[in-house]
Amino acid sequence: MLSYRHAFHAGNHADVIKHLILLQIAQYMGDKPAPFWIIDTHAGAGCYALESAHATKLAEFRDGVGRLWDAKGLPPATADYVDFVRMLNPDGQLRHYPGSPWLASQLLRDGDRLRLYELHSTDVKLLEGCFKSAGRQVMVTAGDGFAGLKAILPPPPRRALVLIDPSYETRDDYANVIKGLQEAMKRFPTGTYALWYPMLSKPESRKLPEKLKGLGAKDWLHATLEVSAPAKDGYGMHGSGMFIINPPWTLEKTLHENLPVITRLLAQNDGAKYKIESQTS
């Protein structure tokens, strides 16, 4: 039975790096005239009310997007990300936060498509409500996103961004992302894959980056954002990472311009830091 709900964590530091990168990749793909798809394997509810009981229970957004909300002198890509969040908050008060599906939908052109997968029954209904007027351009499927990739790849336009960010509630999630990426890359080797993962003390989390590097992709980019040093008791998420296979050539430079500022603004103690590493063919 699924218990994870992203509403508890909407707008936190992990969302900041994940959604900044999502926007940069989607905007890059949209710069070329050929159509593309965005496929989100763990889509969540689509958008979130930050004043809801779920969001206020932990209020993680206050130390995430909340710290960027009124910040001055943000680098262009970070300012662009905040502007997208402002689209859901036209009165200037941070009350709503867009999930990956909503952000992706804002960058679709007429020929582009968004394919969303979600297992949690409550979130599926919310997701469907979020896109009830979207027509054929957005398709919501109640089901396993990894299974969905087997059926949907390669997409008809042969251009796609696949976003993968499971909850990592169980040890199987770590194995599933490796297996899912291996199978997806066989079906669609030229696709862009963006995988999010939490930085935790557990060995499955610490070993995941090296396993991702071992998948055999010729071109990859790995970026991490740590907002604090790991807790001495080993509890909690002190940061998160994004591993991108076949990234846009512009993305690494953009992250070098933005992550130092984001790290400084989101730092919770002296252990805050970021890392960017890459491989190109």
**What b/e string do you get for 251-281 counting C-beta neighbours within 10 Å, with b at 16 or more?**
bbebbeebbebbbebbbeeeebbbeeeeeee
Structure tokens at 263: 């790290």
DSSP 8-state secondary structure symbol assigned to residue 238? -
Structure tokens at 225: 């954002």
- C-alpha angle with apex 103: 99 to 104, nearest 5 degrees? 115
CA–CA distance, 258 with 276 (Å, rounded to integer): 11
CA–CA distance, 117 with 125 (Å, rounded to integer): 12
Q: Which of 40, 63, 112, 165 is catalytic?
A: 165
Query: Is position 165 annotated as part of the catalytic site?
Result: yes
The residues that are catalytic are 165
